[in-house]
């Protein structure tokens, strides 16, 4: 049996936060952020991660022409679950009303969507499950330390989802191959070591005072190497050649990393998706969100051969090669959406600003 992507959907909160907005309380500038990362703005989520994941998931299910009760498994890639017990996927299963689905979280940080998609392929092709929803969703701004300008300016919140089903004929497309893995010798270059059950929860403000270990330049170099290698391996496993690839969807962490990847990987005929300028790094959500954006703006027209690739904390990494089907028109739609938010994007994190930079908060 073969598997393919039959539905897609995304959910980005309306609350836009520009670089200039960040510069009102962080010692940074629009010029620095754009020059180093390509990011112009990002979204801040005013609800829970599972709310975004639910909207993206329901949009993908409708797009595939399915009902929530048709779904057999919900795989949620996230490193910012609403709760640890139960999983965020449990909340999503409940809110989506996927009453017949098993559901679980996958935490592989920014490479989570690739890990989850590989599992969906295996489930569908083995016959264990028929209809799988794979969601990448992150409320990563919740996890930021707003006094750390090295990390605080890089991220944003979003969710993206796809449905994976059996591919019945060539026109349906096919998920060909993966090269996913882990370089744990680089575990400590991107880490939040004081958050989780290893944290002493009796230390005052333990949850607020998260500290990110973040070796930006090392992540930059290792990221390009890992994404290039896993992409090449996925292409080779699929029996394709680099010339066959029409679209490259890299993790949207930083446009300079993506440009480095393009130079290293050298796909002669591929268009590279670059949407990070409007969302920042949305971790596990960045690939499915970019995928949906490219369908919506006409960059993806159907039938393309894709390579997707990501790198994340662990270091996790992954690459996949797949062929899209003919159909890129949704079979159905849903009007489900996030509840509205009356304030500004900055208002969403007002409490955090009060905590981390009280002198700036008072100015507003």
**Which residues are known catalytic residues?**
110, 251, 281
C-beta of 75 vs 144, nearer to ligand COA: 144
- What minimum distance in Å lies between the beta carbon of 111 and ligand COA? 8
Backbone φ and ψ of 269, nearest 5°: -115, 10
- State the nearest-atom distance from the C-beta of 352 to ligand COA, in Å: 16
Closest CA to 246 of 266, 265, 268, 226: 268
**Residue placing its CB nearer to ligand COA in the complex, 96 or 313:** 313
What are the counts of helices (DSSP H) followed by strands (DSSP E) for the chain?
Answer: 13, 14
CB of 34 to ligand COA, least distance (A): 11
Q: Is the dihedral of CA 89, 92, 94, 100 positive or negative?
A: negative
Pick the closer one to ligand COA by CB: 36 or 237.
36
| CA–CA dist 115, 181 (Å, integer) | 9
Provide, rounded to whole angstroms, the least separation between the CB of residue 72 and ligand COA. 30
Which residue's Cβ has the minimum distance to ligand COA? Answer: 216
Rule CB under 6 A: which residues touch ligand COA?
Answer: 28, 32, 36-37, 110, 149-150, 153, 216-217, 219-220, 223, 253-254, 257, 281, 311-312
Rounded to the nearest 10°, the torsion over CA 310, 319, 121, 304 is 100
Report in angstroms the alpha-carbon separations of 59 from 54, 296, 322: 8, 13, 22
Least spacing, CB of residue 314 vs ligand COA, in Å:
10
Count CA atoms closer than 13 A to 257's CA, side-chain side. 30
And the tokens for 63? 């797009």
DSSP three-state, residue 232: helix
């Amino acid at each position: 049996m073969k598997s393919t992507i039959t539905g897609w959907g995304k959910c980005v909160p309306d609350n836009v936060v520009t670089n200039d907005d960040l510069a009102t309380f962080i010692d940074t500038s629009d010029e620095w952020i754009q020059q180093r990362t390509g990011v112009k703005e990002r979204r801040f989520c005013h609800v829970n991660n599972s709310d975004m994941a639910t909207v993206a998931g329901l949009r993908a299910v409708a797009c595939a022409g399915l009902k929530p009760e048709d779904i057999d498994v919900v795989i949620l890639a996230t490193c910012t679950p609403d709760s640890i017990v139960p999983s965020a996927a449990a909340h999503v299963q409940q809110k989506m009303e996927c009453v017949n689905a098993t559901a679980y979280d996958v935490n592989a940080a920014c490479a989570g969507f690739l890990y989850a998609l590989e599992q969906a392929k295996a489930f569908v092709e083995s016959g264990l499950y028929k209809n799988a929803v794979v969601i990448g969703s992150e409320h990563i701004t919740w996890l930021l330390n707003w006094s750390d300008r090295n990390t605080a300016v890089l991220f944003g919140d979003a969710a993206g989802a796809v449905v994976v089903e059996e591919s019945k004929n060539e026109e349906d497309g096919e998920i060909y191959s993966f090269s996913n893995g882990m370089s744990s010798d680089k575990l400590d270059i991107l880490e939040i070591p004081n958050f989780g059950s290893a944290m002493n929860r009796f230390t005052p403000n333990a949850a607020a005072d998260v500290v990110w270990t973040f070796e930006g330049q090392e992540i930059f170099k290792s990221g390009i190497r890992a994404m290039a290698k896993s992409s090449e391996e996925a292409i080779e496993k699929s029996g394709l050649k680099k010339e066959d690839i029409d679209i490259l969807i890299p993790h949207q962490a930083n446009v300079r990393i993506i440009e480095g990847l393009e130079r290293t990987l050298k796909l002669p005929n591929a268009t590279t998706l670059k949407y990070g300028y409007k969302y920042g790094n949305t971790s596990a959500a960045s690939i499915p969100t970019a995928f949906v954006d490219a369908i919506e703006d006409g960059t993806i027209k159907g039938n393309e051969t894709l390579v997707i690739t990501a790198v994340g904390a662990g270091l996790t990494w992954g690459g996949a090669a797949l062929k899209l089907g003919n159909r890129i028109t949704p079979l159905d739609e849903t009007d489900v959406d996030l509840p509205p938010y009356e304030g500004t994007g900055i208002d969403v994190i007002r409490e955090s600003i009060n905590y981390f930079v009280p002198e700036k908060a008072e100015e507003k």
